[in-house]
C-alpha cells in the first residue's frame, strides 16, 4: 500500500537549483519509489512566474508519485506541514566573491523562514540549507525555529564538497567513485574547509588495492608517501575547497546540477539511512564533538539510521583520530564559522 504523501518544500523554486531539484524529487529519486510527494515551491514575487512555469512542466511529466505542486510567495503557506524543507532560495556569488561575502545579502532570508518553519512545519521536519553561506544561514534558521523545532533538525549542505573529494580521488586512482569509503569534509562550506582522506579506504572489490587505505593507494599510484602527501596538500585539498569558484570561472555561474544532486544525496541519506558506508559528510549543529564549539553548524563525518526506522537522522561519527595538522585545519575553519556567527550577531540577525 502506498504511504502517506510527504510534503517537501523547496525555497527558490524559480531558480536554477530549484529547477534541477524538483523533477528528480518528483521522479522518486530522493525518497524512493514508494513515497508519494507534495511539492511546495516558495519564491519572492519576482520569481513567481519562473516557479509557476516549472510547476506546469512538472504537471506535464505526469509523475505517478507527485500528488500536487503549490507555488506561493507566502512562507507560512509554503512550510505548512512540511516534513522536508530545502532552503535553496538566496543570492548566488559571482566571480571574485567568497561565499561569506553573501552574508549580509542573504542572512535576512533565513530568520523569517526559520520562524515560519517553527510555526507551521510538521513536528518531525528536517531542514537542509543550501543557500550560501550555508552553514551560517542554517545557524540563523535553526535559532529562529527554536524552541518549536529542535536545532538538531537543521543541517547545511557539504555533501557537494564530499562528492567532489570522492570524484577527485576516483579520477586519480582510476577507480569507481562507489569504491571509495570514509572521506570526510570538516568545517565550513568555504575555502577553509578540510577535505580529509586519512580514514578513507578502498572497497574489497579493488583487486590488489582491496581494503587498502586511500593514502597507501595514493602512494602506490603517485610514487611514494611523500609524493602522495604533496598531492594532497598542493592539489587535492585546494582543488576541492575551491571547486565552487572553479565552476563559476569555467561555467560563468555557480554550480547547479551537482548542487541539486548533492542536496538529493543529503536528504536521501538522512531519511533512508547510510548502511554499507562508514559515513558521509554534512554540516550539523555541533554538540561539542571534536572540540568544535557547541551550537556552530560544522561539517563532520555523519551517519544515519534513517528517520522513523532505526534512527533519528544524522549523528556525528565520533572517535576518529585527527593528527596535529588535521586539528589545525579544522580549527582554522571553525574560527571562520565563529567569525561568521559573530558577524550575523552584529547585523542583528541572530
**Which residues lie near ligand NAD (CB under 6 A)?**
11-12, 14-18, 42-44, 46-47, 88-93, 109, 130-132, 134, 157, 160, 189, 254-256, 259
From the list ligand LMR, ligand NAD, none, partner contacted by residue 47 (C-beta under 5 to 8 A by kind): ligand NAD
Query: Total residues at the site for ligand LMR (CB under 6 A)?
Result: 10
Q: Is 247 in the site for ligand LMR (CB under 6 A)?
A: yes
From the list ligand LMR, ligand NAD, none, partner contacted by residue 157 (C-beta under 5 to 8 A by kind): ligand NAD
Burial of 249 (0-12, 13-18, 19+ CB in 10 A): exposed
The whole-angstrom separation of Cα 106 and Cα 131 is 8
Q: Give the CB-nearest residue to ligand NAD.
A: 15
Q: How far is the CB of 245 from ligand LMR (least distance, A)?
A: 6
Q: How far is the CB of 10 from ligand LMR (least distance, A)?
A: 17
Q: How far is the CB of 36 from ligand LMR (least distance, A)?
A: 31
Between residues 155 and 201, which has the closer beta carbon with respect to ligand NAD? 155
Q: Is 159 in the site for ligand LMR (CB under 6 A)?
A: no
Q: How far is the CB of 83 from ligand NAD (least distance, A)?
A: 19
Centroid of chain to Cα 81: 22
Between residues 228 and 247, which has the closer beta carbon with respect to ligand NAD? 247
Between residues 177 and 257, which has the closer beta carbon with respect to ligand NAD? 257
Q: Is 99 in the site for ligand LMR (CB under 6 A)?
A: yes
From the list ligand NAD, ligand LMR, none, partner contacted by residue 247 (C-beta under 5 to 8 A by kind): ligand LMR
Could you identify the residue written with the cell 541519506? 269
Residues acting as catalytic residues: 189
The whole-angstrom separation of Cα 216 and Cα 194 is 20
Q: Is 93 in the site for ligand LMR (CB under 6 A)?
A: yes
C-alpha cell at 214: 586511500
Long-range contact list for 341-346, CB < 8 A, 24+ apart?
341/136, 341/139, 341/296, 343/103, 344/103, 344/107, 344/136, 344/139, 344/140
* CA torsion through residues 90, 299, 84, 242, sign: positive
Q: Give the CB-nearest residue to ligand LMR.
A: 244
Q: How far is the CB of 116 from ligand NAD (least distance, A)?
A: 10
From the list ligand LMR, ligand NAD, none, partner contacted by residue 6 (C-beta under 5 to 8 A by kind): none
C-alpha cell at 300: 563532520
Contact mark string toward ligand LMR, 256..275, x via CB under 6 A:
---x----------------
Vertex 262: Cα angle to 50 and 175 (nearest 5): 140
Q: Is 280 in the site for ligand LMR (CB under 6 A)?
A: no
Q: Is 284 in the site for ligand LMR (CB under 6 A)?
A: no
Q: Is 136 in the site for ligand LMR (CB under 6 A)?
A: no
Q: How far is the CB of 215 from ligand NAD (least distance, A)?
A: 26
Q: How far is the CB of 14 from ligand LMR (least distance, A)?
A: 18
C-alpha cell at 261: 544532486
Q: Which residues bind ligand LMR (CB under 6 A)?
A: 92-93, 99, 132, 160, 244, 247, 254-255, 259
Amino acid at each position: 500500500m502506498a504511504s502517506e504523501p510527504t510534503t517537501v518544500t523547496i525555497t527558490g523554486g524559480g531558480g536554477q537549483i530549484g529547477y534541477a531539484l524538483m523533477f528528480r524529487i518528483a521522479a522518486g529519486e530522493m525518497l524512493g519509489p514508494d513515497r508519494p510527494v507534495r511539492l511546495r515551491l516558495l519564491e519572492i514575487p519576482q520569481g513567481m512566474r519562473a516557479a509557476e512555469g516549472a510547476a506546469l512542466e512538472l504537471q506535464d511529466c505526469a509523475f505517478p508519485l507527485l500528488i500536487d505542486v503549490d507555488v506561493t510567495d507566502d512562507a507560512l503557506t509554503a512550510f505548512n506541514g512540511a516534513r522536508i524543507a530545502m532552503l535553496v532560495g538566496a543570492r548566488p556569488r559571482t566571480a571574485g566573491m567568497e561565499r561569506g561575502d553573501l552574508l549580509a545579502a542573504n542572512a535576512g532570508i533565513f530568520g523569517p523562514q526559520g520562524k515560519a518553519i517553527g510555526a507551521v512545519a510538521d513536528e518531525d521536519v528536517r531542514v537542509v540549507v543550501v543557500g550560501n553561506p550555508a552553514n551560517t544561514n542554517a545557524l540563523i534558521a535553526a535559532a529562529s525555529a527554536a524552541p518549536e523545532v529542535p536545532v538538531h533538525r537543521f543541517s547545511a549542505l557539504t555533501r557537494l564538497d564530499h562528492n567532489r573529494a570522492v570524484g577527485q580521488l576516483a579520477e586519480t586512482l582510476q577507480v569507481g567513485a562507489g569504491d571509495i569509503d570514509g572521506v570526510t569534509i570538516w568545517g565550513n562550506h568555504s575555502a577553509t574547509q578540510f577535505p580529509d582522506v586519512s580514514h578513507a579506504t578502498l572497497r574489497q572489490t579493488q583487486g590488489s588495492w582491496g581494503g587498502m587505505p586511500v593514502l597507501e593507494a595514493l602512494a602506490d599510484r603517485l610514487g611514494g608517501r611523500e609524493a602522495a602527501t604533496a598531492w594532497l596538500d598542493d592539489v587535492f585539498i585546494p582543488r576541492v575547497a575551491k571547486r565552487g569558484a572553479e565552476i563559476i570561472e569555467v561555467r560563468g555561474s555557480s554550480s547547479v546540477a551537482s548542487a541539486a544532486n548533492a542536496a538529493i544525496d543529503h536528504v536521501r541519506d538522512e531519511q533512508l539511512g547510510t548502511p554499507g558506508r562508514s559515513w558521509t559528510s554534512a554540516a550539523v549543529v555541533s554538540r561539542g564533538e571534536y572540540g568544535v564549539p557547541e551550537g556552530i553548524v560544522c561539517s563532520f563525518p555523519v551517519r544515519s539510521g534513517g528517520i522513523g526506522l532505526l534512527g533519528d537522522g544524522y549523528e556525528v561519527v565520533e572517535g576518529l583520530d585527527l593528527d596535529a595538522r588535521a586539528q589545525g585545519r579544522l580549527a582554522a575553519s571553525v574560527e571562520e564559522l565563529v567569525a561568521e556567527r559573530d558577524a550575523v550577531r552584529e547585523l542583528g540577525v541572530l
